Amino acid sequence: MSKVTKRRVVITGVGAVTPLATGVEESWQKLCQGKSGVARITRFDPSGFKTQIAAELKDFHPEDFLDKKKIRRTDPFIHYAIAAARMALDDARLNINENNASRVGIVVGSCGGGMTTYEKNLMALRQEGPNSVSPFFTTGFIANMAAGEISIVFGAKGPSKCIITACATGTHSIGDAFRLIQYGEADAMIAGGSDAYILPISIAGLDKMRAISRRNDEPEKASRPFDKNRDGFVLGEGAGVVILEEMESAIRRGAKIYAEIVGYGSNIDGFHITEPDGENQARCIKLALNDADILPDELDYVNAHGTSTILNDLAETKAIKAALREHSKKVPVSSNKSMVGHLLAAAGAVEAIFTVLTIRDGIIPPTINYDTPDPECDLDYVPNLARKTEVNVALSNSFGFGGVNATLVFKKFFDKPKENSN
């Protein structure tokens, strides 16, 4: 059997809606400055809740990206996804037309789908009866409608799916889109994740799990990955979308190339729904490095899942040590969630974007609020201040409820693979 030649895949466009800003570059600048997007919840009155803080969007206006009719008929998670996709496509200068539409696909996932739509219609049903339920309830609620609406708005007609793997959704979406291009099923993919999950039921449920921080008096200091005094993650919202393209096609059309995606690992713990075991997270990292044909000591940066929960941060530290061995003591590791909170399905996609910008600019964003080292979390977490350094190869981790794990490896782009000096 002949060996299949895998095509090279590059990132040519990025778009994001984050608690720091609407748009990638402003979000990136604030991230590098160590700004926090966490504050007291304004979406509803949180006074009766033990957790009263979140990382909400602050300057997002859907009318800047969608027409009024679509805004009325769709859920906020779809608004965020379309906005991020529009920004990414504009950034890539990728024109989808009748000549290429069937070769442009979409993999955009969501954890909760249209939670706002679900809550609104459930309350209407209980208070006013069945005639009060919107005819757009189902299409506003189901998670795959972010991808569906992106297809309708922009005309992509290639492979499409909706990944739902909790906090690993965005990373799995990009990884699966990468595979579709690698093996020739598409030439370009719109990939990422979106969630609009800051609702009373979500805050109440996550608090009952003791998963989220109760540091209500200091919102900006609440998310503190790897710090000894961490007490849970901070729920966020938003969307991240990247445009992936087959390398030669991107070069032919003169596309700007941010980085090359070279490796993808995916597995599941089979251990506990919320407590990671570290061992299989390490295996996921190794799978991604093997796929990329990258040795541990070639790695310049790890963008950690880094949720700010006691068990997850400890398990990820152990996983990085096990996967990278001696190099784990040298490689910088930082968590974007210290500033943007946990964006659920959007987390991995937004963090992938920040990872390729780290490669582009040679700046590693800090882990803010790192005040008291945890003796069990003893890696270089780039505490509190960004670090200027050359980054050629970087890795991004995402680990989700249910034990799902995903890792991506990115590399500075060269037209031709660099010759091995040995």
* Catalytic sites, residue numbers: 167
Q: Coil, helix or strand for 252?
A: helix
DSSP 71-94: HHHS-HHHHHHHHHHHHHHHHHT-
Neighbours of 198 (CB within 10 A): 24
**168 neighbors 398 (Cβ within 8 angstroms):** yes
Residue 114: CB atoms within 10 Å: 26
Answer yes or no: are the C-beta atoms of 317 and 376 closer than 8 Å.
yes
Q: Determine phi and psi for 372, rounding to 5 degrees.
A: -125, 110
- DSSP class of 367: B
Pair 160, 151: CB distance under 8 Å: yes
- For residue 366 the two structure tokens come to 């800090």
Which residue reads 């040519």 in tokens? 12
Report the phi/psi class of residue 362: left, alpha or beta, with left for phi > 0 and alpha for psi in -120 to 50. Answer: left
Query: Which residue spans within 188-317 are E strands per DSSP?
Result: 188-195, 238-246, 259-268, 301-303
